[in-house]
Protein backbone atom coordinates (compact mmCIF):
# COMPACT_ATOMS: atom_id res chain seq x y z
CA UNK A 1 0.00 0.00 0.00
CA UNK A 2 1.08 3.60 -0.49
CA UNK A 3 2.98 5.45 2.24
CA UNK A 4 0.25 6.62 4.65
CA UNK A 5 2.70 8.57 6.81
CA UNK A 6 3.71 11.01 4.10
CA UNK A 7 3.52 14.55 5.44
CA UNK A 8 3.02 13.59 9.08
CA UNK A 9 5.01 15.23 11.85
CA UNK A 10 7.24 13.13 14.09
CA UNK A 11 4.71 13.44 16.90
CA UNK A 12 1.87 12.30 14.63
CA UNK A 13 3.94 9.34 13.45
CA UNK A 14 4.61 8.28 17.04
CA UNK A 15 0.93 8.62 18.00
CA UNK A 16 -0.10 6.63 14.94
CA UNK A 17 2.37 3.86 15.75
CA UNK A 18 1.22 3.74 19.37
CA UNK A 19 -2.39 3.41 18.21
CA UNK A 20 -1.49 0.77 15.63
CA UNK A 21 0.27 -1.30 18.28
CA UNK A 22 -2.74 -0.96 20.60
CA UNK A 23 -5.06 -2.09 17.81
CA UNK A 24 -2.87 -4.98 16.65
CA UNK A 25 -2.12 -6.30 20.15
CA UNK A 26 -5.35 -5.59 22.05
CA UNK A 27 -8.32 -4.66 19.86
CA UNK A 28 -8.05 -6.93 16.81
CA UNK A 29 -7.27 -10.09 18.82
CA UNK A 30 -10.29 -9.47 21.05
CA UNK A 31 -12.62 -8.84 18.10
CA UNK A 32 -11.39 -11.88 16.16
CA UNK A 33 -11.40 -14.27 19.14
CA UNK A 34 -14.74 -13.07 20.54
CA UNK A 35 -16.73 -12.47 17.38
CA UNK A 36 -19.89 -13.88 19.04
CA UNK A 37 -19.71 -11.09 21.65
CA UNK A 38 -20.88 -8.61 19.04
CA UNK A 39 -24.28 -10.33 18.98
CA UNK A 40 -24.86 -10.34 22.72
CA UNK A 41 -28.19 -8.78 23.61
CA UNK A 42 -26.64 -7.70 26.90
CA UNK A 43 -24.93 -4.48 25.76
CA UNK A 44 -23.15 -3.92 29.08
CA UNK A 45 -20.93 -6.91 28.41
CA UNK A 46 -20.02 -6.46 24.75
CA UNK A 47 -16.75 -4.54 24.95
CA UNK A 48 -14.63 -5.22 28.05
CA UNK A 49 -13.59 -2.29 30.19
CA UNK A 50 -9.98 -3.41 29.76
CA UNK A 51 -10.02 -2.13 26.17
CA UNK A 52 -10.97 1.36 27.34
CA UNK A 53 -8.38 1.15 30.11
CA UNK A 54 -5.70 0.34 27.55
CA UNK A 55 -6.86 3.24 25.36
CA UNK A 56 -6.58 5.42 28.43
CA UNK A 57 -3.10 4.09 29.22
CA UNK A 58 -1.70 5.10 25.84
CA UNK A 59 -3.34 8.53 26.10
CA UNK A 60 -5.96 8.44 23.36
CA UNK A 61 -9.17 8.30 25.41
CA UNK A 62 -9.04 11.91 26.58
CA UNK A 63 -7.78 13.63 23.44
CA UNK A 64 -9.00 17.21 23.37
CA UNK A 65 -9.42 17.51 27.14
CA UNK A 66 -7.37 20.45 28.45
CA UNK A 67 -4.01 19.39 29.83
CA UNK A 68 -4.67 21.25 33.10
CA UNK A 69 -7.40 18.70 33.84
CA UNK A 70 -5.23 15.72 32.98
CA UNK A 71 -6.23 15.30 29.35
CA UNK A 72 -4.15 15.12 26.20
CA UNK A 73 -4.10 18.38 24.30
CA UNK A 74 -3.18 18.37 20.64
CA UNK A 75 -1.39 21.05 18.68
CA UNK A 76 -4.16 23.51 17.79
CA UNK A 77 -2.68 24.02 14.31
CA UNK A 78 -3.03 20.33 13.44
CA UNK A 79 -5.73 19.09 15.82
CA UNK A 80 -8.26 17.94 13.19
CA UNK A 81 -5.49 16.25 11.21
CA UNK A 82 -4.28 14.37 14.28
CA UNK A 83 -7.83 13.37 15.19
CA UNK A 84 -8.13 11.89 11.69
CA UNK A 85 -4.95 9.85 12.11
CA UNK A 86 -6.01 8.41 15.47
CA UNK A 87 -9.61 7.73 14.45
CA UNK A 88 -8.50 5.85 11.35
CA UNK A 89 -6.16 3.61 13.30
CA UNK A 90 -8.73 2.82 16.02
CA UNK A 91 -11.44 2.09 13.45
CA UNK A 92 -9.05 -0.24 11.65
CA UNK A 93 -9.40 -2.39 14.76
CA UNK A 94 -13.08 -1.76 15.43
CA UNK A 95 -15.42 0.98 14.29
CA UNK A 96 -17.59 0.64 17.40
CA UNK A 97 -14.64 1.38 19.65
CA UNK A 98 -13.75 4.33 17.42
CA UNK A 99 -17.31 5.60 17.82
CA UNK A 100 -17.10 5.31 21.60
CA UNK A 101 -13.88 7.28 21.73
CA UNK A 102 -14.75 9.86 19.08
CA UNK A 103 -17.81 10.94 21.06
CA UNK A 104 -15.50 11.70 23.99
CA UNK A 105 -13.17 13.66 21.70
CA UNK A 106 -15.92 15.67 20.02
CA UNK A 107 -17.85 16.53 23.18
CA UNK A 108 -14.60 17.43 24.93
CA UNK A 109 -13.80 19.89 22.13
CA UNK A 110 -17.29 21.37 22.52
CA UNK A 111 -17.06 21.69 26.32
CA UNK A 112 -13.53 23.08 26.12
CA UNK A 113 -14.81 25.86 23.87
CA UNK A 114 -18.24 26.78 25.26
CA UNK A 115 -18.72 25.31 28.75
CA UNK A 116 -18.45 27.73 31.68
CA UNK A 117 -15.32 27.33 33.76
CA UNK A 118 -17.17 25.78 36.72
CA UNK A 119 -18.54 22.99 34.52
CA UNK A 120 -15.13 22.23 33.08
CA UNK A 121 -13.68 22.05 36.59
CA UNK A 122 -16.54 19.80 37.67
CA UNK A 123 -16.65 17.30 34.81
CA UNK A 124 -13.30 17.07 33.04
CA UNK A 125 -11.58 15.59 36.13
CA UNK A 126 -14.30 12.93 36.43
CA UNK A 127 -13.91 12.02 32.77
CA UNK A 128 -10.15 11.74 33.14
CA UNK A 129 -10.32 9.71 36.36
CA UNK A 130 -12.65 6.96 35.11
CA UNK A 131 -11.71 5.00 31.93
CA UNK A 132 -15.33 3.85 31.67
CA UNK A 133 -16.72 7.41 31.67
CA UNK A 134 -18.41 8.08 28.30
CA UNK A 135 -19.91 11.23 26.80
CA UNK A 136 -22.89 11.60 24.45
CA UNK A 137 -24.29 14.39 22.30
CA UNK A 138 -28.11 14.37 22.15
CA UNK A 139 -29.45 16.02 19.02
CA UNK A 140 -31.46 13.50 17.00
CA UNK A 141 -35.15 13.02 17.78
CA UNK A 142 -37.84 10.64 16.46
CA UNK A 143 -39.42 13.45 14.44
CA UNK A 144 -36.32 15.12 13.09
CA UNK A 145 -32.73 14.28 12.27
CA UNK A 146 -30.60 15.02 9.21
CA UNK A 147 -33.33 17.13 7.56
CA UNK A 148 -32.84 19.75 10.27
CA UNK A 149 -29.27 20.49 9.33
CA UNK A 150 -29.68 22.17 5.97
CA UNK A 151 -30.80 24.49 7.76
CA UNK A 152 -34.01 26.02 6.53
CA UNK A 153 -34.60 27.38 10.03
CA UNK A 154 -38.38 27.55 10.18
CA UNK A 155 -40.31 27.13 13.45
CA UNK A 156 -41.74 23.80 12.26
CA UNK A 157 -38.23 22.32 12.25
CA UNK A 158 -37.58 23.15 15.91
CA UNK A 159 -36.66 20.53 18.49
CA UNK A 160 -39.59 18.63 19.94
CA UNK A 161 -37.67 18.40 23.20
CA UNK A 162 -38.45 21.49 25.27
CA UNK A 163 -36.78 23.15 28.24
CA UNK A 164 -38.39 25.76 30.50
CA UNK A 165 -36.78 27.90 33.16
CA UNK A 166 -38.29 27.48 36.64
CA UNK A 167 -36.40 29.48 39.23
CA UNK A 168 -32.87 28.16 39.53
CA UNK A 169 -33.55 25.13 37.31
CA UNK A 170 -34.25 24.23 33.71
CA UNK A 171 -36.89 21.51 33.28
CA UNK A 172 -36.50 19.32 30.19
CA UNK A 173 -39.19 17.19 28.56
CA UNK A 174 -38.81 15.18 25.39
CA UNK A 175 -37.11 12.22 23.72
CA UNK A 176 -33.81 11.69 21.93
CA UNK A 177 -32.94 8.64 19.85
CA UNK A 178 -30.15 7.14 17.75
CA UNK A 179 -27.66 8.67 20.20
CA UNK A 180 -24.08 7.41 19.96
CA UNK A 181 -22.97 6.24 23.44
CA UNK A 182 -26.53 7.02 24.49
CA UNK A 183 -27.04 3.72 26.28
CA UNK A 184 -24.05 3.89 28.61
CA UNK A 185 -22.84 7.50 28.74
CA UNK A 186 -22.23 9.15 32.09
CA UNK A 187 -22.80 12.71 30.87
CA UNK A 188 -25.00 14.09 28.09
CA UNK A 189 -25.08 17.32 26.12
CA UNK A 190 -28.80 17.82 25.48
CA UNK A 191 -30.39 20.21 22.96
CA UNK A 192 -33.89 21.57 23.52
CA UNK A 193 -36.20 24.32 22.30
CA UNK A 194 -36.31 27.23 24.73
CA UNK A 195 -37.98 29.82 22.46
CA UNK A 196 -40.93 28.15 20.71
CA UNK A 197 -42.15 29.78 17.53
CA UNK A 198 -38.79 30.92 16.17
CA UNK A 199 -36.20 29.17 14.03
CA UNK A 200 -33.86 26.56 15.45
CA UNK A 201 -30.90 28.90 15.18
CA UNK A 202 -32.60 31.45 17.44
CA UNK A 203 -34.45 29.19 19.85
CA UNK A 204 -32.35 26.12 20.72
CA UNK A 205 -30.37 25.81 23.95
CA UNK A 206 -27.96 23.16 25.18
CA UNK A 207 -27.49 21.71 28.65
CA UNK A 208 -25.05 19.44 30.41
CA UNK A 209 -27.07 16.64 32.04
CA UNK A 210 -25.54 13.92 34.26
CA UNK A 211 -26.88 10.41 33.77
CA UNK A 212 -28.21 10.13 37.33
CA UNK A 213 -30.40 13.24 37.04
CA UNK A 214 -33.99 12.39 38.11
CA UNK A 215 -36.27 12.38 35.08
CA UNK A 216 -33.58 11.14 32.66
CA UNK A 217 -34.31 7.56 31.60
CA UNK A 218 -32.28 5.46 29.18
CA UNK A 219 -35.05 3.40 27.63
CA UNK A 220 -33.20 1.07 25.28
CA UNK A 221 -30.06 0.12 23.44
CA UNK A 222 -30.68 0.15 19.69
CA UNK A 223 -29.57 -3.12 18.13
CA UNK A 224 -27.79 -1.91 15.02
CA UNK A 225 -26.57 -3.74 11.92
CA UNK A 226 -22.95 -2.71 12.43
CA UNK A 227 -20.67 -0.75 14.78
CA UNK A 228 -22.16 -2.86 17.55
CA UNK A 229 -19.40 -2.34 20.10
CA UNK A 230 -20.72 1.21 20.54
CA UNK A 231 -24.06 1.15 22.35
CA UNK A 232 -26.47 3.46 20.55
CA UNK A 233 -29.32 4.50 22.83
CA UNK A 234 -32.64 6.21 23.32
CA UNK A 235 -33.25 8.66 26.16
CA UNK A 236 -36.48 10.10 27.59
CA UNK A 237 -36.66 13.30 29.65
CA UNK A 238 -39.69 13.64 31.92
CA UNK A 239 -39.64 16.79 34.04
CA UNK A 240 -35.87 16.40 34.15
CA UNK A 241 -34.63 19.34 36.23
CA UNK A 242 -31.04 20.48 35.81
CA UNK A 243 -29.39 23.36 37.70
CA UNK A 244 -29.47 26.67 35.89
CA UNK A 245 -25.68 26.73 35.91
CA UNK A 246 -25.62 23.61 33.73
CA UNK A 247 -26.79 25.68 30.77
CA UNK A 248 -24.15 25.63 28.03
CA UNK A 249 -25.66 27.98 25.46
CA UNK A 250 -29.00 29.78 25.55
CA UNK A 251 -30.99 30.05 22.32
CA UNK A 252 -27.91 30.05 20.06
CA UNK A 253 -26.66 26.54 20.90
CA UNK A 254 -26.63 25.31 17.30
CA UNK A 255 -24.40 28.08 16.02
CA UNK A 256 -22.02 27.61 18.96
CA UNK A 257 -21.92 23.87 18.25
CA UNK A 258 -20.20 24.61 14.95
CA UNK A 259 -16.91 24.08 16.77
CA UNK A 260 -18.05 20.46 17.21
CA UNK A 261 -19.58 19.77 13.81
CA UNK A 262 -16.59 20.25 11.52
CA UNK A 263 -14.15 18.08 13.54
CA UNK A 264 -17.01 15.58 13.75
CA UNK A 265 -17.17 15.25 9.96
CA UNK A 266 -13.41 14.71 9.87
CA UNK A 267 -13.67 11.98 12.49
CA UNK A 268 -16.55 10.36 10.62
CA UNK A 269 -14.61 10.19 7.37
CA UNK A 270 -11.51 8.94 9.19
CA UNK A 271 -13.44 6.11 10.85
CA UNK A 272 -14.74 5.16 7.41
CA UNK A 273 -11.20 5.09 6.11
CA UNK A 274 -10.09 2.86 8.98
CA UNK A 275 -12.77 0.30 8.12
CA UNK A 276 -11.74 0.48 4.48
CA UNK A 277 -8.10 -0.04 5.35
CA UNK A 278 -8.95 -3.09 7.45
CA UNK A 279 -10.96 -4.53 4.56
CA UNK A 280 -8.13 -3.87 2.12
CA UNK A 281 -5.33 -5.20 4.31
CA UNK A 282 -7.14 -8.43 5.10
CA UNK A 283 -8.22 -8.92 1.50
CA UNK A 284 -4.71 -8.23 0.18
CA UNK A 285 -3.33 -10.88 2.54
CA UNK A 286 -6.05 -13.37 1.55
CA UNK A 287 -5.60 -13.06 -2.23
CA UNK A 288 -1.84 -13.58 -1.87
CA UNK A 289 -2.31 -16.79 0.11
CA UNK A 290 -5.45 -18.52 -1.22
CA UNK A 291 -4.99 -20.74 -4.25
CA UNK A 292 -7.68 -21.24 -6.86
CA UNK A 293 -7.32 -22.54 -10.40
CA UNK A 294 -3.77 -23.58 -9.70
CA UNK A 295 -2.45 -20.14 -8.70
CA UNK A 296 -2.85 -17.63 -5.91
CA UNK A 297 -5.84 -15.33 -6.39
CA UNK A 298 -3.89 -12.15 -7.02
CA UNK A 299 -2.53 -13.66 -10.24
CA UNK A 300 -6.07 -13.84 -11.66
CA UNK A 301 -6.76 -10.71 -13.71
CA UNK A 302 -10.25 -10.15 -12.31
CA UNK A 303 -8.91 -10.20 -8.77
CA UNK A 304 -6.03 -7.85 -9.58
CA UNK A 305 -8.43 -5.33 -11.12
CA UNK A 306 -10.59 -5.29 -8.02
CA UNK A 307 -7.64 -4.95 -5.69
CA UNK A 308 -6.37 -1.99 -7.70
CA UNK A 309 -9.81 -0.39 -7.54
CA UNK A 310 -9.92 -0.79 -3.75
CA UNK A 311 -6.47 0.78 -3.33
CA UNK A 312 -7.34 3.69 -5.60
CA UNK A 313 -10.58 4.46 -3.76
CA UNK A 314 -8.81 4.45 -0.40
CA UNK A 315 -6.03 6.71 -1.65
CA UNK A 316 -8.62 9.17 -2.96
CA UNK A 317 -10.53 9.12 0.35
CA UNK A 318 -7.31 9.73 2.27
CA UNK A 319 -6.33 12.68 0.07
CA UNK A 320 -9.72 14.37 0.41
CA UNK A 321 -9.89 13.67 4.14
CA UNK A 322 -6.53 15.27 4.83
CA UNK A 323 -7.31 18.26 2.60
CA UNK A 324 -10.53 18.79 4.60
CA UNK A 325 -8.73 18.36 7.94
CA UNK A 326 -6.09 20.91 6.94
CA UNK A 327 -8.81 23.38 5.99
CA UNK A 328 -10.54 22.88 9.36
CA UNK A 329 -7.29 23.44 11.22
CA UNK A 330 -6.63 26.58 9.17
CA UNK A 331 -10.23 27.76 9.74
CA UNK A 332 -10.39 28.23 6.01
CA UNK A 333 -13.42 29.36 3.98
CA UNK A 334 -13.87 25.98 2.30
CA UNK A 335 -13.99 23.97 5.54
CA UNK A 336 -17.76 23.38 5.48
CA UNK A 337 -17.83 22.15 1.89
CA UNK A 338 -14.72 19.99 2.22
CA UNK A 339 -15.86 18.41 5.50
CA UNK A 340 -19.14 17.32 3.98
CA UNK A 341 -17.41 16.16 0.81
CA UNK A 342 -14.99 14.04 2.84
CA UNK A 343 -17.76 12.57 4.97
CA UNK A 344 -20.08 11.60 2.12
CA UNK A 345 -17.31 10.48 -0.27
CA UNK A 346 -15.70 8.29 2.38
CA UNK A 347 -19.00 6.64 3.28
CA UNK A 348 -19.81 5.79 -0.33
CA UNK A 349 -16.35 4.71 -1.45
CA UNK A 350 -15.51 2.65 1.63
CA UNK A 351 -18.83 0.84 1.29
CA UNK A 352 -17.71 -0.19 -2.22
CA UNK A 353 -14.30 -1.24 -0.88
CA UNK A 354 -15.96 -3.42 1.76
CA UNK A 355 -18.24 -4.92 -0.90
CA UNK A 356 -15.20 -5.89 -2.98
CA UNK A 357 -13.59 -7.39 0.13
CA UNK A 358 -16.57 -9.63 0.83
CA UNK A 359 -16.79 -10.77 -2.78
CA UNK A 360 -13.06 -11.49 -3.12
CA UNK A 361 -13.29 -13.75 -0.07
CA UNK A 362 -15.94 -15.83 -1.83
CA UNK A 363 -18.07 -17.97 0.47
CA UNK A 364 -15.75 -17.22 3.38
CA UNK A 365 -16.75 -13.60 3.12
CA UNK A 366 -20.22 -14.51 4.38
CA UNK A 367 -19.03 -16.48 7.39
CA UNK A 368 -19.40 -14.71 10.72
CA UNK A 369 -16.23 -16.18 12.19
CA UNK A 370 -14.13 -14.74 9.33
CA UNK A 371 -15.06 -11.16 10.23
CA UNK A 372 -15.08 -9.82 6.67
CA UNK A 373 -18.86 -9.44 6.62
CA UNK A 374 -18.53 -7.39 9.83
CA UNK A 375 -16.50 -4.80 7.95
CA UNK A 376 -19.21 -4.69 5.26
CA UNK A 377 -21.89 -4.15 7.93
CA UNK A 378 -19.83 -1.48 9.67
CA UNK A 379 -19.27 0.33 6.38
CA UNK A 380 -23.02 0.29 5.67
CA UNK A 381 -23.74 2.04 8.97
CA UNK A 382 -21.57 5.02 8.01
CA UNK A 383 -23.88 5.86 5.10
CA UNK A 384 -26.41 6.99 7.71
CA UNK A 385 -24.25 8.47 10.48
CA UNK A 386 -23.74 12.19 11.05
CA UNK A 387 -26.26 13.15 8.34
CA UNK A 388 -27.36 11.08 5.38
CA UNK A 389 -25.48 11.24 2.11
CA UNK A 390 -28.23 13.25 0.38
CA UNK A 391 -28.43 15.86 3.15
CA UNK A 392 -24.64 16.17 3.07
CA UNK A 393 -24.76 16.78 -0.68
CA UNK A 394 -27.38 19.49 -0.25
CA UNK A 395 -25.09 21.16 2.29
CA UNK A 396 -22.16 20.97 -0.13
CA UNK A 397 -24.17 22.80 -2.79
CA UNK A 398 -25.33 25.41 -0.27
CA UNK A 399 -21.71 26.00 0.75
CA UNK A 400 -20.52 26.36 -2.83
CA UNK A 401 -23.42 28.40 -4.21
CA UNK A 402 -24.71 30.45 -1.30
CA UNK A 403 -26.65 32.97 -3.39
CA UNK A 404 -28.44 30.61 -5.74
CA UNK A 405 -28.77 27.21 -4.00
CA UNK A 406 -32.24 26.04 -3.10
CA UNK A 407 -33.75 25.66 0.34
CA UNK A 408 -34.30 21.94 -0.35
CA UNK A 409 -36.76 21.67 2.54
CA UNK A 410 -39.58 23.81 3.89
CA UNK A 411 -40.88 26.79 1.96
CA UNK A 412 -38.67 28.10 -0.85
CA UNK A 413 -37.75 31.75 -0.23
Q: Comparing C-alpha atoms, which of 346, 272, 277 is closest to residue 310?
A: 277
Q: What is the pLDDT of residue 150?
A: 67
* Rg of the chain in Å (alpha carbons): 21
Q: Is the pLDDT of residue 413 over 70?
A: no
Please classify residue 202 by burial: count the beta carbons closer than 10 Å to its beta carbon, then call 0-12 exposed, 13-18 middle and 19+ buried. middle
pLDDT in tens, 120-175: 999 999 999 999 999 999 999 998 776 666 667 777 788 999 999 999 999 999 99
What is the Cα–Cα distance from 319 to 303, expressed in whole angstroms? 25
**263-282 tens-digit pLDDT:** 999 999 999 999 999 999 99
Q: How many of the other CB atoms lie within 10 Å of CB of 330?
A: 13
Mind listing the pLDDT tens digit for each residue in 280-305? 999 999 999 999 999 999 999 999 99
Percent of the chain whose pLDDT exceeds 90? 87
Which pLDDT band holds residue 400 (cuts at 50, 70, 90)?
Answer: very high
In the DSSP assignment, the letter for residue 151 is: -
- pLDDT given at position 149: 66
Rounded Cα distance, 21 and 19, in Å: 5
Q: Note the pLDDT of residue 406.
A: 85
| CATH architecture group of domain 10-132 | Orthogonal Bundle (1.10)
Separation between Cα atoms, residue 128 and residue 143, nearest integer Å: 35
CATH class of 256-400: mainly alpha
Please give the pLDDT value at position 412. 65
Q: How far apart are CA 191 and CA 197, in angstroms?
A: 16
Residue range 194-215, pLDDT digits in tens: 999 998 889 999 999 999 999 9
Q: What is the pLDDT of residue 230?
A: 97
CB of 86 closer than 8 Å to CB of 16: yes
Task: Taking residues 227-252, report their average pLDDT.
Answer: 97
| Domain at 136-250: CATH code | 2.40.110.10
pTM of the entire predicted model = 0.95
In eight-state DSSP terms, residue 337 is H
Q: What is the pLDDT of residue 156?
A: 78
Task: Locate the domains of the chain by residue range.
Answer: 10-132, 136-250, 256-400
Q: How far apart are CA 356 and CA 365, in angstroms?
A: 10
Residue 312: other Cβ atoms inside 10 A:
13
DSSP 302-313: HHHHHHHHHHHH
pLDDT mean over 89-111: 97
DSSP letters spanning 28-88: HHHHHHTGGGGG-S-GGGSS-HHHHHHHHHTT-TTBTS-GGGT-B---TTSHHHHHHHHHH
Asked if the model's pLDDT at residue 180 lies above 80, the reply is yes
Closest by CA to 103, choosing from 271, 236, 307, 225, is: 271
* Residue 79 contacts residue 264 (beta carbons within 8 Å): no
Confidence band of 410 (pLDDT split at 50, 70, 90): low
Residue 292 β-bridge partners = 295
Give pLDDT, residue 147: 64
227 close to 185: Cβ distance less than 8 angstroms: no
The pLDDT of residue 69 is 98
Amino acid sequence: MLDVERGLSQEQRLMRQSCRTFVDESVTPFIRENWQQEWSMEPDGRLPREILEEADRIGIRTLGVPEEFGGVELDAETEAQTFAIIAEEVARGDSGLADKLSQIWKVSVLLRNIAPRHLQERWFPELVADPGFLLAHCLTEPRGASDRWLPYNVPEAAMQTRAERHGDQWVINGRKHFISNGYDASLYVVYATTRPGVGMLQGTSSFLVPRDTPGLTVTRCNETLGCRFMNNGEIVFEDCAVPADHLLAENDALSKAGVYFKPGKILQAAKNLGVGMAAFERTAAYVQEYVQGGKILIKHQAVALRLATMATKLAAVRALLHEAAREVDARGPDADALCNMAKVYASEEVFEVAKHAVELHGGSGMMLEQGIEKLFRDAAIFLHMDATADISKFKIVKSLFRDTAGTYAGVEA
